Structure 1
Amino acid sequence: MRFFSQSFSYDEPWSIVSLAYFLRYPNPHASHIVSCDVISREFTPSGSLVTTRLILKKGSLPRWAPEGIIPRSEAWVIEESEVDPYGQVLRCTSKNLDHVKILSARESVILKPNQDGKTIQRTDVSIVSGFGWGLTQRIEQFGLQKFKSNLQKSREGLKAIVELTRQSRQGMTMGLAGGDHAQGSFRASESPKEYRDPAAPQPSSEAPRQGIANSVWNRLSAWSRPRSA
């Protein structure tokens, strides 16, 4: 059995990072994620949000793996999380449901704020193989190295979504302009230029700009669209 633990700090507050954690798929660093579906979501009597999601991931085998060791390269992963908005703690555990005799990985993630307003993520994982045939340690070592590589990609992907979430919250701040105030109406602030979908037509200076939510959706949709060869 192999164990690994790592902590990482995000510059954004817990409220943004915890929201981004649930919105992290799709992102440009998660091409191995095929699908992500919510199975259940409910509030506990104490006010925590409990969510169960089913995630389909795809991967590749090392060249030294015996032929036919697994029937397919995809695996279902179940993710169970609890968000305590009062204590400002997000706890999430996940484990693979397929190929568990070959390799079983259990991951635990905790997100909580630190004293300077940033967010700390602690990740722990245990990896164990019951395959035997003299390959147990080799499989576990491969799984550990693969997890470390994916953890870096996961961090980069979450940072991208954190940035989108931060900018969307700024863009969705409602304000009163001088002329609008006189007419009794109010508008959303303009979204940053970097939020615009490059493939989308640019609006004229007279036309109202697209809402930030549409811009975010366009970016995420562009990442998830299959690219032509």
Structure 2
Amino acid sequence: MVKYFSNDIDIKTTWDQVVSAFWQSSHVLTEDVVFREVTADRRLLSRRLLTKTNRMPRWAEFLFPSNLSRSVYIVEDSVVDLFTKSLTTYTWNLNHATLMKVEERCVFRESNEQPALTLLRREAWISSGVYGFSRPIQEFGLSRFKSNQVKSMKGLEYALSNLHGEAALHQPSVRNTVKAAAEKAKTLASAGAPQKQPQQYV
């Protein structure tokens, strides 16, 4: 059985600014770009490996080494589509997946009625492979997910506030970011043999 959660949030900022703030958000401990490519139809595809702090419940800490029980490794696939004005992300945890697996899908989309508004649709699927305890573990996971969601939004709001400051004059637009990524992809492609593209889940 899987616990499902979804909600919709209206972000009172333009989509361009939300996407720029998304890439500048500092709510992770480490970030490694595994793959990045700009497609022929000008979509930016990315896969990142992230490390976040995510303390486990006390009753589960004895199952894992102390250096692992307080951090979680996450894969994030994302697609930025300039034509539809949408950013779609899909994330899932690599470690502790038997105890609890959390999959999250977020879609940031420009509002058709109010271009100065960005619509966020967030969905999560929480499951556990621990026989006999999956339900309470899923309930704990849902509670933790909601708490992390609040922190994530605060991090995005903080990044947005920085964009609205004096530094905003020097920040690249989404289009410039995509263009720079395209040039980088061409450079990497010419420097070595082509690499197999990992499967995208969004």
| TM-score for the superposition, normalised by structure 2 | 0.76
Aligned to 1:193: none
| SS of equivalent to 1:86 | coil
Please give the alpha-carbon distance, in whole angstroms, between the structure 2 residues aligned to 1:67 and 1:170: 43
Greater fraction helix:
2
1:168 Cα offset (Å): 4.6
Aligned to 1:124: 123
| SS of equivalent to 2:123 | strand
Aligned to 1:183: none
Q: How many residues align?
A: 165
1:44 matches 2:43: no
Query: How far does the alpha carbon of each residue in 1:84-111 deviate from its partner, in whole angstroms, 9 at most, with x for none?
Result: 0121010000000111111011000000
Tell whether the 8 Å contact from 2:92 to 2:102 is kept in structure 1 after alignment.
yes
Q: Letter of the 2:145 partner, please give it.
A: F
2:64 to 64, 70, 74: 70
Aligned to 2:146: 148
Q: Which structure 2 residue ranges, 5 or more long, are not aligned?
A: 172-202
Q: Letter of the 2:117 partner, please give it.
A: K
Q: Which has the higher contact order (CA 8 A, sep 6+)?
A: 2
Instruction: Quote the RMSD (CA, aligned, Å).
Output: 1.7
Query: How far does the alpha carbon of each residue in 1:182-220 deviate from its partner, in whole angstroms, 9 at most, with x for none?
Result: xxxxxxxxxxxxxxxxxxxxxxxxxxxxxxxxxxxxxxx
Q: How does 1:1-229 map to 2 (within 5 A)?
A: 1-25=2-26, 30=27, 33-63=28-58, 65-66=59-60, 68-71=62-65, 72-73=68-69, 74-114=71-111, 115-116=113-114, 117-132=116-131, 134-168=132-166, 170-172=168-170
Runs of 4+ in 1 over 4 A off after TM superposition: none
| SS of equivalent to 1:138 | helix
**Structure 1 pair 118–102 and aligned structure 2 pair: CA distance change class (3 A):** same
Aligned to 1:219: none
1:155 Cα offset (Å): 0.5
